[in-house]
Amino acid sequence: RKEVEQDPGPFNVPEGATVAFNCTYSNSASQSFFWYRQDCRKEPKLLMSVYSSGNEDGRFTAQLNRASQYISLLIRDSKLSDSATYLCVVNDDMRFGAGTRLTVKP
Amino acid sequence: NAGVTQTPKFRVLKTGQSMTLLCAQDMNHEYMYWYRQDPGMGLRLIHYSVGEGTTAKGEVPDGYNVSRLKKQNFLLGLESAAPSQTSVYFCASRPPAPYEQYFGPGTRLTVT
């Protein structure tokens, strides 16, 4: 089993849709999690941290489920500009998921 | 404040040639990383450093060497380039956990 696994997608959704990505991790001792966004051929940029109590930033919500060892990212009211690849990372192990590709269509 | 910079941005090498990729950060971060990204593979950790003068192997260290002689610089060396090392190389840095990593813009390397 890979240490960090993501559904590669692609996810193709219409504008305004709600979409959710999950990311599972194997190290139960992991403490630090993030979601990054990567646009084509560019460097990853931080989207949001994932706190154990869950956290929200505008249309984006991140959650952590320690019992099942996964983190999730929910995007509400999708915009065309949300089209990108979303990477989860377990910071303690410096392990990135392979990324989930999202395309939002008009 | 430039953040994380990488030199060069692009490079084409012939098999067997050597080169060094430079990563520099001006945020006084302790931790620095080198990743490679291939299509469909995500980011894979090559080597990392937890402080000046220290280095450690990541997931895919073979064929690469690194040095961190100064806190702000992290060098990645390819002694004898192979076509399998064609990739995009990203450098990142961060302060001690639980803070996020900051990435450089990447170096696109092609080995023919």
Residues whose CB falls within 8 Å of the CB of residue A38, separated by 6 or more in sequence, listed in order: A44, A45, A84, A85, A86, A87, A99
Rounded mean pLDDT, A25-45: 91
Per residue in A44-65, pLDDT (tens digit) is: 999 999 988 889 999 999 999 9
Does the pLDDT of residue B96 top 90, yes or no? no
Q: Does A41 touch chain B (CB under 8 A)?
A: yes
As a whole number of Å, the CA-based R_g of chain A is 13
Which chain B residue is nearest to residue A99, measuring alpha carbons? Answer: B42
Per residue in B41-68, pLDDT (tens digit) is: 789 999 999 999 999 999 999 999 999 9
Task: Say yes or no for a CB contact (<8 Å) between A96 and B35.
Answer: yes
Task: Say yes or no for a CB contact (<8 Å) between B100 and A98.
Answer: no
Task: Say yes or no for a CB contact (<8 Å) between A8 and B40.
Answer: yes
Q: Does B105 touch chain A (CB under 8 A)?
A: yes
Name the region of B42 (left: φ>0; alpha: ψ -120 to 50; beta: rest). left
Does the pLDDT of residue A88 top 90, yes or no? yes
